[in-house]
Amino acid sequence: MGEDAAGQLAGEAARIEDSFDFAAVPDAFQRLWTPHRMVYIGGEGKPPSDAEHHCPFCDIPSREDADALVVARGDLVYAVLNLYPYNPGHLMVVPYRHIADYTELSAEEAVEMSRFVQRAMTALRLAAGPQGFNIGINQGAVGGAGIAAHLHQHIVPRWGGDMNFMPIVGQTRVLPQLLAETRALLAEAWS
């Protein structure tokens, strides 16, 4: 390749194209739009780091079950769908009492929380047939808790192959069902 051709190619490669030039150009890709995720990504509606002043887990029990995505209520804890689920059917068990640390649970709260995790697994198996579960508590902000001021335990149903390319490449989770529909199925399976 001659010097002029190499210079011309380098000049072409250095050209920066405006993405708006391609906004209406069809290609072979199908797109999955999830604009509702921008609320989570942007942090809108998330409680402040000192959730003592506004705690969604303290507000949920005063709302109607369907509106708040509550699946079941106990004496000391309740089960609620995660508003930003990792997988379909992602539940959380939350004590009514506003506490941040697992060691603050009373013996009675710990027992009911454990029983609710068992019942959540049973309900999820009846409603959706998961092949496994991730169950855990992200303790504290550094431990990954999105709402560190109010303790909650996650129950995430898992299926073989559920971690496809979407979360890795597209940083998007595909949920095949609306949360209200999932809540209704799980509430029915719970009883």
Which residues are identified as catalytic? 152
Phi-psi region of 140 (alpha: psi -120 to 50; beta: other; left: phi over 0): left
DSSP string, 7-26: HHHHHHHTPPPPGGGGTT--
Strand partners, 134: 156
Give the relative orientation of helices 107-128 and 179-190 as an angle to the nearest 10 degrees: 110
Q: Which residues contact 108 (CB under 8 A, 6 or more apart)?
A: 76
